[in-house]
Amino acid sequence: MKTLECIKPFLILLFCSIFLACSSVRVNYDYDKSTNFSNYTSYNYFSDINSGLSGLDEKRLFRILDSTLQSKGYLLAEEPDLYINILSNQFRNNPNNNVGVGVGGGGRNVGGGVSFGIPIGNSGIQRMIQFDFVDAEKDALIWQASSESGFRENASPSVRQEKLRAVVKKVFSKFPPENN
């Protein structure tokens, strides 16, 4: 019984690590190095935005994004310095693990073999969300981030909101980029 008490914290840590690894958000960034991001103070969304998100998820994302950008000192304006475009799509990724089984034989210059793979685990649905920031005056793309994370279509509204919040937090942790 005492051994179980000693192992319990490690099991909890292992479970949390596995859970967090499965629900992680991966982000890729790119930006124009010649851009001075301190010149930008206001933003708005393209009027003809077609994000690929459901209407409710799009509203959730805009609210979270507005809150994040305003906390960084940016203002939502009718005539902004930056326009934001958002693109999203969902895809099913292949299972990462599989087991190979093979049978072979041979001898006296005769050989043969049979092999097949058995997938282990389900393939999951992933959602990619891309954020494009365009200089309104120059009409030029200056910053882009693409996020990829797990997605459940039947998730509750609160789970969807928290997932979008995690995406925005990770994506905008490096915005604006530091000038070199």
Note the pLDDT of residue 109: 61
Q: Considering the chain, what percentage of its residues have pLDDT values greater than 70? A: 69
Give the CATH fold of the 26-93+121-174 domain. Answer: Double Stranded RNA Binding Domain (3.30.160)
Instruction: Please give the average pLDDT of every successive group of 10 residues along the chain, which has 180 residues.
Output: 57 44 78 93 93 90 96 96 93 61 59 56 76 95 93 86 94 83
Note the pLDDT of residue 16: 43
pTM over 0.85: no
Sign of CA dihedral 55, 151, 25, 95: negative
Note the pLDDT of residue 99: 56
Distance CA 148, CA 65 (A): 17
Note the pLDDT of residue 118: 55
Note the pLDDT of residue 105: 60
- Tell me the per-residue pLDDT of 16-37, one tens digit each, with 9 for 90 and over: 444 444 458 899 999 999 999 9
Distance CA 169, CA 31 (A): 18
Note the pLDDT of residue 13: 44
Note the pLDDT of residue 162: 93
Note the pLDDT of residue 15: 45
95: helix, coil or strand?
coil
Contact call for residues 91 and 129 (beta carbons, < 8 A): no
